[in-house]
Chain A
Amino acid sequence: MDWQAFALSLRLATVTTAILLAIAVPLAALIVLGRGRWLAAVEALATLPMVLPPTVLGFFLLVLLGPRTAFGRGIASMLGHPLAFSFDGLVVGSVIYSLPFAVQPLVAGFSSVDSALVDAARLLGAGPVRLVSSILIPLARRSLLAAVVLSLLHTIGEFGVVLMLGGDIPGATRTLSIVLYDQVEDFDYAAAGHTALLLLGLSALALVAIYATSQKRGGARRA
């Protein structure tokens, strides 16, 4: 088992999920509470990575963040290294690729909160930040949990973007999915089986956590 890749995958997933939450919560609140036709374009843009082939997204990011563009050169001179083929680059790619998996559950959860409660909070002086923190998030806890779990799992399991943007650098960009690919290429099916089982176990564990939470809520409602 490549524990270095395991640790890197977990670090990538944790950092990506934290950044995603910071972006997705206000974005979902804007989509749900905002008014204006331009919000449909914002939602479409936030969902686009879901339908885009990962390798296509990885290619675009590789070109954008690489030395071929002024943007890529600017970032490289600012950070002292290019974003492509680095852990930071993987984080950028993962955030963009997993964005819909964080935004969509939150949009669904926030939309399900009764608009009368939102009106009541606004009448009592709640601004957007308080509205989100004191009403929408507590009443859409399960959606927040779903967003966290989906972001984590999606990042741990992603392959196309990681391979295109990060390559296969041990300790820097080699994640569990890349290790699995390498093991299959080397015909080391026993090791590949272990890696695949680990990825499968992580996914199953996270889904059990979501459903256990939902059962508790259901139980409370029935009581």
Chain B
Amino acid sequence: MLEFSIDSRRGSFHLQVECTFASDWTVIFGPSGAGKSTLLRLLAGLDHPLHGRIALNGHTLTETAGGLRVPPGHRQTSLVSQQPALFPHLTAAANVAYGLRSLNPAARSRRVDQMLDLVGATELATRRPQDLSGGQAQRVALARALAPAPRLLLLDEPFSALDGVASDELLVRLQNWLRESKVQTVVATHDATDALAISAEVLLLRDGRLTALGPAAQVLASERARLLSRLQASEN
């Protein structure tokens, strides 16, 4: 369970959200500039709020009142951004192995193979990031984030470079694996079709404020109606 109460300012932008995510999958939906990426970076520990507290499964990760800031690599939290940010001087396999330093070489190699297989990128193991397409790089970035067995996975528009079919197929495989592995997942997206494709709790974020929280069908009802009407119009 992820609980947070965050008050953060960056320039003129003010993010103020208090929420508890109890379900396996939560989608943060909102237009560009709503504060989705800012929120994910705060949850990952890359940035720090002005005031607030973040706790995962009862363990406090950030608490400004007590000056507690668990560093990013020690929060059992992974973040995959729209930009894959693969290390350009390492192969795909070495990228995935980067966070597995505590494992012995044999176990590390097995884990790398397992993760690349999960995201359908086994054949990319020896390639360098500059030789990968956008979609392939996103798959490898996903494998790299999952390899250290996080308890919380944060995905910021992670399927933007994948085409529809590939994205759907990966999503189904990923959802099953994450549920089995008991990894809580938070996905940020501005795409209503992505948000509706994931049967999850949806948090609606606008101008740095939480405006709704509930099942996707309920929170995104107006978005769903808008998409359907657009589809009908295009069919006519």
Q: A residues within 8 Å of B by Cβ? A: 114, 116-117, 119-127, 134-135, 138-139
Contacts and interface: CB of A to CB of B under 8 A. Distances in A.
Given A123-B72, A124-B73, A126-B98, 12 more contacts: A119-B46, A120-B87, A121-B87, A121-B98, A122-B46, A123-B44, A124-B98, A124-B99, A124-B148, A125-B99, A125-B148, A138-B89
Contact of A117 (B44, B46, B79, B85): B85
6 contacts: A114-B85, A123-B77, A123-B78, A124-B98, A125-B73, A126-B98
Q: Kindly name the residue among B85, B89, B145 whose own CB sees the greatest number of chain A CB atoms within 10 A.
A: B85
B79 A123 contact: yes
Q: Kindly name the residue among A117, A123, A125, A135 whose own CB sees the greatest number of chain B CB atoms within 10 A.
A: A123
A125 B77 CA distance: 10
Secondary structure of the B contact surface, majority rule: loop
Interface in B33-85: 44, 46, 71-74, 77-79, 81, 83, 85
Interface of B: 44, 46, 71-74, 77-79, 81, 83, 85-89, 98-99, 101, 144-145, 148
A117 B89 CA distance: 11
A180 B77 CA distance: 62
A123 B46 contact: yes
Secondary structure of the A contact surface, majority rule: helix
B83 A116 contact: yes
A139 B85 CA distance: 13
A122 B71 contact: yes
Contact of B85 (A120, A126, A138): A120
Contacts of A124: 73, 98-99, 144, 148
A126 B89 contact: no
A122 B46 CA distance: 8
Q: Kindly name the residue among B44, B77, B99 whose own CB sees the greatest number of chain A CB atoms within 10 A.
A: B99
B89 A139 contact: yes
Contacts of A116: 81, 83, 85
A156 to B, nearest CB: 32
B89 A123 contact: no
The 9 closest A-B pairs by CB, nearest first: A125-B73, A124-B99, A116-B85, A120-B85, A122-B72, A138-B89, A123-B72, A124-B98, A119-B46
Contacts of B72: 119, 122-123
A120 B87 CA distance: 9
B150 to A, nearest CB: 9
B73 A126 contact: yes
A42 to B, nearest CB: 22
Given A122-B46, A123-B46, A125-B101, A117 B87 contact: yes
A217 to B, nearest CB: 12
Contacts of A123: 44, 46, 72-73, 77-79, 99, 145
Contacts of A126: 73, 98
A14 B226 CA distance: 70
Contacts of B98: 121, 124, 126, 134
